[in-house]
Amino acid sequence: MDHSGGCHCGNIHVLLRLSKPPENNPVRTCTCSFCRSHNPGMISDPSGLLEVSADNWSLVELYRFGTRTADFLICRRCGVFIAAISDLETTPCGVVNVNCLEDRSRFIAPVTMHEFQSETLGARIARRAANWMPAVVRR
């Protein structure tokens, strides 16, 4: 099942391939200050695929904070937070903000709040390897 989306101004594009229907995908957020500020609903599917591209990569902010283990992709023009991509694995993996998808209203699972701030670096990498989806960033 393919889902497309992107940022508000149209510079960043997302293609998401999921192995199950939108309503069966868990939606989550966390207690970090970034998520509290942006209010994303994050989804991933280890059996799926996230593809991100941009018309102009100079308008894409790759923001790292905290443990500096993932790039948070934000459009510099319109401010939309798109996805987080981790490069600590041999294959990049990511999560996508459901709010940037065209069919976001189909992702109806209640948002589950998680607290990751006390997580060790090793636990964080293992969690992402198990739960995040393969990601392709087309530059």
Confidence of residue 117 (pLDDT cuts 50, 70, 90): confident
CA-to-CA distance for 137 and 139, rounded, in angstroms? 6
Total residue count of the chain as it appears in this document:
139
Give the model's confidence band at 98: pLDDT under 50 very low, under 70 low, under 90 confident, else very high.
very high
Residue 90 has pLDDT above 70, yes or no: no
For residue 66, name the pLDDT band (cuts at 50, 70, 90).
confident
CA–CA gap between residue 44 and residue 16 (Å, rounded): 9
Which of 66-75, 85-94, 95-104 comes out lowest in average pLDDT?
Answer: 85-94
Taking the domain 2-138, which CATH number applies?
2.170.150.70
Q: Domain-by-domain residue ranges, the chain?
A: 2-138
Q: What is the mean pLDDT of residues 61-81?
A: 92
- Quote the pLDDT of residue 69: 85
How would you label 38-75 residue by residue, b for 16+ Cβ within 10 Å and e otherwise?
bebbbbbbeebbbbbbbeeeebbeeeeeeeeebbbbbb
pLDDT for 78 beyond 60: yes
Closest CA to 137 of 19, 59, 54, 41: 54
- Residue 59 contacts by C-beta under 8 Å, 6 or more apart in sequence? 11, 75, 76, 77
Rounded to whole angstroms, the Cα distance separating 11 from 56 reads 6
Cite the beta strand spans of the chain per DSSP E: 2-6, 12-17, 27-30, 42-43, 49-54, 60-63, 70-75, 81-86, 93-97, 111-114, 133-138
- Contact indicator for 111, 28 with CB cutoff of 8 Å: yes
Average of per-residue pLDDT across 15-24:
96
